[in-house]
Amino acid sequence: MRQQPMRYKKMSKLAIVAMAAIVMMTGCSGSASNATTSNEGSTDQAVTLNFWAALDPSTTEGKTIEQQIKKFDQEHTDININLQVITYDVLHDKLVAAITAGDSPDLSWGLGEWVGEFNQMNALADLTPYMNEWKDKDIFYPNVMKALTIDEKVKALPNYLGIRALLYHENILKQAGYDAPPKTWDELLQMGPVIKAKTNKYAFGFAGTGVRASQELMTYLAQKGLSIAEKQADGKYKNTWQDNPQALQKVAEVFQFYKDMNAQQVVDPNAKTWGWEEEDQNFVLAQYAMVVNGAWIEGRTSENPEGMSDVKIAAPPYSDQPATFMEVAPLFVYNTEHTKQAWEFASFLMSKEYQQAVNPSKSARTDVESDKWGKEFMKLTSQGVSFPPVSLSGISQSMEDSIARLMLKNDSPEQIATWLSQAINENLQKTNQLSGS
Amino acid sequence: MLTLREKRIRLVAYYFVLPAFAFFLLLNAYPLITVVWDSFQFKNMLNATQTGFAHLANYREVLSNEYFLTALRNTIIWTLLSVTGEYILGLSSAIALNQPIRGRTLFRGIIIIPWVVPIVIAGMTWTWMLAPDYGVINYWLIQLGVIDKPYYWLGEMNTALFTIVFVNIWRSFPFFTISLLAGLQTVSKEVMEAAAIDGAGIRVRFFYIVLPQLKTISLTLIFVHLIWTAINFDFIWIMTQGGPLYSSETLPIQIYRYAMEDYNFGNASALSSMMLGVMMTAFIMYYVINSRKSKN
Amino acid sequence: MLISKRKQWIVQSITYIVLIGFSFYCLFPFLWMVVTSLKPDNEIRTLTPSFLIQHPTIEHFINVLTGSSFLTFFKNSVYVSLVVTAASLIISIFAGYALSRFVRFRGVKLFGVAMLLSQMIPGVLLLIPLYLTMKELHLINTYNSLILAYTTFTVPLCTFMMKGFFDSIPIDMEESAEIDGCTRVGTIFRILLPVSLPSLVSTSMFGFLNSWNEFMFGFVFINDEQHRTLTPGIYLFKGLYQTDWGSMMASSVLSVLPVVIMFLFLQRFLVEGMTAGAVKG
């Protein structure tokens, strides 16, 4: 008969017993040993605030934030801050899951596009009473606060600003014989072919896909005096382009501008499907001359010192009126039991001391001194526009699609103007924000 | 009527499957029932005014989506192409690894590598390598004179999906390799030698002896992978998010959009229920045909 | 002899060419990761990408190991994956045995269908329902949430694999054990498992790999550094406006290498173990 050697048999037996033991120990019993971060039953104990931040711990900025928060934690014996680092890429999905489960953190970072959404989900605390009591309440740029105020209620605070400016490679322009960047769309369209002919590089870049695409489209629409949704008398929103032939004409002109840039070789033909990574990467590699972008590009100097050596800043080229996209990155305070403590912490994050230390070049406070690079961007704050406070995810998707339809499906600008207006209103209706519905 | 002994054995059998079944009930069946239930409800987190029973409204909405048919077509292309490619590469690499040559162990180890690289990382790396201006693949192709200017593999509507299929095959074919190699090793040497003595050439031996041996394992592999590939979502999401202009959008991506971008769980559940229904039907048909065959 | 000398030589050459082609295809991205992780920042994203490094550096590895929580993530992944592997193995040994030997009972048949059904659910769809379930069990932000979820995902496949292995073992071995007065469990542990050690190894490797590489649930269930696992941890190097490619690739290499080495050592078992199940599938 086949007899296993004894030792082998014993070994396998031992292994199996050991495995079973592991399963027993770590099995699916309740979490006895796991410290959960709930703070029930802490009445006169210190309150723990869960704070989700998308900081980058490897950068100086990230380290400064961590230090500042530690300091606050030590100075307030009644508040403990539980800081959790979560990247923007997944922060949204995590917040949605947590809000759905009624399990949101007390405070978090976020993107401007989410303000309307989270407000629709009734997840955000009303900060108006605290704001009115606060000595610093008038120190912020008014158009920034407006972007965070819904129905006269302050629903979020400005964490930092991402204003877009025209960044240009001075050397490429000089090589083509220009000593200043274009001021208007027409100038840009004229310069484009010349730059291409003399330097063999494209003049301009944009992102045809992703969140950046809709933000850039916002800039050009605002330069024609258009907004994607207007607040109506009944407190809801509506896209009004189709009520006015002139407006539709202007929207079509914006799309025509995209088309012209592509047709006249002002932009790289690949730009129509670039995301923000391709747009940024090619710019810092000096693959093309100009881009409308944010202050973060400065951070690329260490990776591409050569490409970044000649970068200068100007206002974005415009058509009817100067305007630029202003990203207002909100600080969300959620509906929790500790709104008072959360406000205390939030107002610290908004204080001059913190903002000066962390966001010298992108603070929403008018009294923060910015460095040289940041100054150029902050100059444009007054012409900054941001998204209306409606649920945006479907709308920004439609804006992105409109560019794809223009570039990839070759629909006419007029068709797209009408299509986008309809798509925006359909999205508003789906989320019960459409005026008159 | 079962005998007493049979009853006892049946009890043992049920005890044996109980733990696995408990997991299934808690974390699969319960969510599944929720999904089917939700597909008939108005459930939109951004629109609290519409609640309650929706009849077939969710299904209608999903079917009337402009890109539903695109996504359906893409899902079929994506699934069939991926699995076909994986099988062909898996089989040819398994046959090669089954030859008595030196360095087999090393080659076997190398072929397993794609399978152990996390999908997220692999997706980002491939995206970078495929980029037109700073990606190594375009750079090399130009150096070799294969193409004369960089091509944007993931940015063109007619190649985006195929490019991701290529990457997906890269990741999954090692699974086929290992399984088919295992199958090849069960082919008995004696039979092969006897056939050779009878004058059967390499080709005859392969088609009449080797392939029939691999039939069962091949069917299992293909069946499981058809399901897995159809519901797979990671690579597409990381590399193109379904773009450009929905040219690489598949049904799972659409489900994700409904759930995590529109917060419309009603629509997401309706689409999922349909997918589940189709796959279940296919499975039942497969099962019935199979059992008929075995009866004959 | 099966084939002539000359033919043998041709077959060998073709085999080598095919295998070298496959190696290139498989290794290409992995080598790119290794090379990138050894490049200084200013050589990583250039217009002339190359596999040659001008000034090799290990700064990214140092940064990953000392300046980030990589080691914590690594430890967590090892722990979660090992527990999941052990749990899945135990559960699927019994379930697989039942599917192999007791399929005549309706309940067991039904169970087999349920296992198949579980493979058809898109993971995306489970995200929110599972989050809610975990929250009700007070498991959010604990290892157990991941262990539960991953075990559920791995058990069906492991069960089918084990079923295949048991199918290939002749039944008379058990019958003789039964006459000797062994219980069913005793039979499995004393007679069947020692014979199918390679199969156990290959099944556990599947289980391990599945939990080692999982990303989405690892991200959504875990909120803090202490409990975060590897894949979501590596993803943190992707910032909002730029990606720290050097560190990301260095940490990827560090997380892939142990698994590759493990597979190299255990691959003999992998093929052997699959062989047992391959006959009947």
DSSP track, C96-107: HHHHHH-TTSHH
| DSSP-derived 3-state class of residue A360 | coil
Helix (H) or strand (E) holding B137: helix B136-143
d(CA C16, CA C32): 23
Give the whole-angstrom CA distance, residue A47 versus residue B200. Answer: 82
Following CA atoms B143, B145, B150, B152 in sequence, which dihedral angle do they give, to the nearest 10 degrees?
-120
Counting one residue from chain B and one from chain C, the pairs whose CB atoms sit within 8 A come to: 270
Work out the percent of chain A whose per-residue pLDDT is above 70: 90
Chains with 3 or more CB pairs closer than 8 angstroms to C?
Answer: A, B
Q: Are C187 and C255 in contact (CB under 8 A)?
A: no
**Tokens representing residue C156 in the block:** 């069906």
Residues of A in contact with C225 (CB under 8 A): 84-85
Query: Residue C239: which of A20, A50, A56 has the nearest Cβ?
Result: A56
What angle in degrees, to the nearest 10, is found between the helix axes of A185-199 and A245-263?
10
Instruction: State mean pLDDT over C91-100.
Output: 93
Count of helices and strands (H, E) across chain C: 14, 0
Query: Minimal CA–CA distance to B6: which of A239, C32, C194, C105?
Result: C105
Quote the minimal CA–CA distance from B131 to chain A in Å: 8
Q: CB neighbours (10 Å) of residue B278?
A: 14
Chain C residue with the nearest C-alpha to that of B254: C124
- Strand A47-53 relative to strand A79-85, pairing: parallel
User: Do B16 and C94 lie within an 8 Å CB cutoff?
Assistant: yes
Digit-coded pLDDT (tens) for C196-238: 788 888 889 888 988 998 988 998 898 888 899 999 888 888 8
Q: Which residues of C touch B174 (CB under 8 A)?
A: 26
The DSSP call for residue A35 is: -
| CA–CA distance, A124 with A132 (Å, rounded to integer) | 17
pLDDT at position C127: 81
**Percentage of residues of chain A with pLDDT beyond 90:** 70
- pLDDT given at position A93: 85
Q: How much is the mean pLDDT over chain A?
A: 88
Inter-axis angle of helices B30-38 and C123-136, nearest 10: 110
- A230-234, A412-416, B7-11: range with highest mean pLDDT: A412-416
Exposed e or buried b per residue across C88-122, where buried means at least 16 C-beta atoms within 10 angstroms of its C-beta = bbbbbbbbbbbbbbbeebeebeebbebbbbbbbbb
Count, in order, helices (H) and strands (E) of chain B.
Answer: 14, 0
Q: Strands A165-169 and A288-293: what pairing?
A: antiparallel
Q: Which residues share a beta bridge with A190?
A: none
Residues paired with A293 in a beta bridge: A165
Integer Cα distance of A191 and A173 in angstroms? 9
Angle between helices C70-101 and A6-26 (to 10 degrees): 110
Question: What's the pLDDT at A38?
Answer: 42
Task: State residue A420's pLDDT score.
Answer: 97
Residue C122 or B281, more confident: B281
For residue C160, the surrounding DSSP H or E stretch is helix C143-167
Q: What pLDDT is recorded for position A211?
A: 87
Surface of C (208-227) touching B: CB under 8 A: 209, 212-213, 215-216
What per-residue confidence (pLDDT) applies to A5?
A: 44
| Chain B 246-285, residues with CB within 8 Å of chain C CB atoms | 252, 255-256, 259-260, 265, 268-269, 272, 275-276, 279-280, 283
Q: What is the pLDDT of residue A134?
A: 94
Spatial CA neighbour of B130 closest among B152, B158, B160, B162 = B152
Q: Name the CA radius of gyration of chain A, rounded.
A: 26
Which tops the pLDDT comparison, A217 or C186?
A217
Nearest by CB: A31 against C44, C142, C190: C142
Give me Rg for the CA atoms of chain C: 23
pLDDT for res B267: 93
- C279 has pLDDT over 80: no
Say how many CB pairs under 8 Å bridge A and C.
131
Close Cβ partners of A61 (under 8 Å, ≥ 6 residues apart): A55, A358
**Is A158 in contact with A140 (CB distance < 8 Å)?**
yes
Is residue B146 within 8 angstroms of chain C, CB to CB? no
Whether C250 shows a pLDDT value over 80: the answer reads yes
pLDDT values of chain B reduced to their tens digit, one per residue, 296 residues: 678 888 888 888 899 999 999 999 988 888 888 889 999 999 888 877 778 888 899 999 999 999 999 999 999 999 999 999 999 999 999 999 988 888 888 898 889 889 888 898 999 999 999 999 899 999 999 999 999 989 999 999 999 999 999 999 999 999 899 889 888 887 777 888 888 888 777 788 888 888 888 888 888 889 889 989 999 888 999 999 998 999 999 999 999 899 888 888 899 999 999 998 998 888 888 878 877 877 76
Q: Give per-residue burial for B61-89: e unless 16+ CB within 10 Å, then b.
A: bbeeeebbebbbebbeebbebbbebbbeb
Residue A437, C-beta contacts closer than 8 angstroms, at least 6 positions apart: A236, A429
How far apart (Å, rounded) are the C-alpha atoms in residues C155 and C92?
6
Contacts with A, C 248-277, CB within 8 Å: none
Query: Look-up: residue for tokens 């390799």?
Result: B177
d(CA A205, CA A276): 10
pLDDT at A26 over 70: no
Number of other CB atoms surrounding residue B264 within 10 Å:
24
Q: Count Cβ atoms below 10 Å from residue C185 Cβ, excluding itself.
A: 14
Query: Cα–Cα distance between A386 and A329 in angstroms, integer?
Result: 11
- Residues whose CB is less than 8 angstroms from the CB of residue A175 and which lie 6 or more positions away in sequence, other chains included: A198, A199
Interface residues of B toward A, Cβ cutoff 8 Å, are 44-50, 131-134, 152, 154-157, 241, 243-245, 257, 260-264
Contacts made by residues C51-60, CB under 8 angstroms, sequence distance 24+: C51/B136, C59/C246, C60/C246, C60/C247, C60/C249, C60/C250
- Give the closest-approach CA distance of B112 to chain C in angstroms: 8
Spatial contact of B150 and B67, defined as CB atoms under 8 Å apart: no
Q: Dmax of chain C from CA atoms?
A: 74
B134 interfacial to chain C (CB closer than 8 Å): yes
- Owner of token pair 């009734």: A122
**Nearest chain C CA: its distance from A287 CA (Å):** 9
Chain B hits for A401, Cβ within 8 Å? 245
Give whole-number Cα distances, C149 to B115, B252, C128, C138, C220, in Å. 21, 20, 13, 14, 12
pLDDT beyond 80 at A24: no
With 50 as the cut, is the pLDDT of residue A111 above it?
Answer: yes
- Tell me the nearest-neighbour CA distance from B3 into chain C, angstroms: 13
C-alpha pair distances (Å), A91 with each of A143, B241, C100, C107: 26, 17, 45, 43
Q: Is the pLDDT reported for residue A4 higher than 60? A: no
Write B163-166 long-range contacts (CB < 8 A, 24+): B163/B130, B163/B239, B164/B78, B164/B235, B164/B236, B164/B239, B164/B240, B164/B248, B165/B77, B165/B78, B165/B81, B165/B82, B165/B85, B166/B85
Give which of C134, C139, C221 is closest to B31, Cα–Cα.
C134
Instruction: Please name every residue paired with B292 in a beta bridge, in sequence order, or none if there are none.
Output: none
State the pTM of this model.
0.88
CA A270 to chain B, closest CA, distance in angstroms equals 7
Chain A partners of C148 at a C-beta cutoff of 8 Å? 28
pLDDT band at C164 (very low <50, low <70, confident <90, very high): confident
User: Is the CB of B152 less than 8 angstroms away from the CB of A273?
Assistant: yes
Q: Encoding tokens for residue C158? A: 């492991």
Structure confidence at residue C274 (pLDDT): 67
What are the chain A neighbours of B262 within 8 Å (beta carbons)?
393-394, 430
Distance of CA A299 to CAs A89, A378, C32, C245, Å?
Answer: 19, 17, 24, 14
Report CA C194 to chain centroid distance, whole Å: 23
In angstroms, the CA B174 to CA C259 distance is: 15
Burial class for A295, CB neighbours closer than 10 Å (0-12, 13-18, 19+): buried
Cis peptide before A360 (omega within 30 of 0): no
CA torsion sign for B281, B283, B287, B290 is: positive
Which residues face A297 on adjacent strands? Answer: none
**Which DSSP symbol is given to B117?**
S
* Spacing of C-alpha A282 from chain mean position: 21
Q: How far apart are CA B189 and CA B207, in angstroms?
A: 16
Q: How far apart are CA B5 and CA B133, in angstroms?
A: 73
Measure B160 CA to nearest chain C CA, in Å: 19
| Band of residue A44 on the pLDDT scale cut at 50, 70, 90 | low
- Give the pLDDT confidence score for residue A272 in this predicted structure: 93
pLDDT in tens, C131-145: 888 888 899 889 999
Q: Packing angle between helix C197-213 and helix C245-278, nearest 10 degrees?
A: 150
User: Band of the pLDDT at A288, cuts 50, 70, 90?
Assistant: very high
9-68 in chain B: CB under 8 A from chain C? 9-10, 12-17, 19-21, 23-24, 26-32, 34-35
Measured between beta carbons, the chain C residues lying within 8 angstroms of B269 are 125
Q: Which of C26, C127, C133, C270 to mutate to probe the B interface, most B CBs <10 Å? A: C26
Cα-based distances in Å from A3 to A10, C169, C189, C191, C273: 13, 16, 15, 10, 21
Query: Is residue A369 very low, low, confident or very high in pLDDT (cuts 50, 70, 90)?
Result: confident
Q: How far apart are CA A117 and CA C2, in angstroms?
A: 71
The whole-angstrom separation of Cα A59 and Cα A65 is 10
Q: Taking a C-beta distance cutoff of 8 angstroms, is the pair C230, B119 a contact?
A: no
Q: Any chain B CB within 8 A of the CB of C103?
A: no
Contact yes or no for A285 and B134 at CB 8 A = yes
Give the pLDDT score at C3. Answer: 64
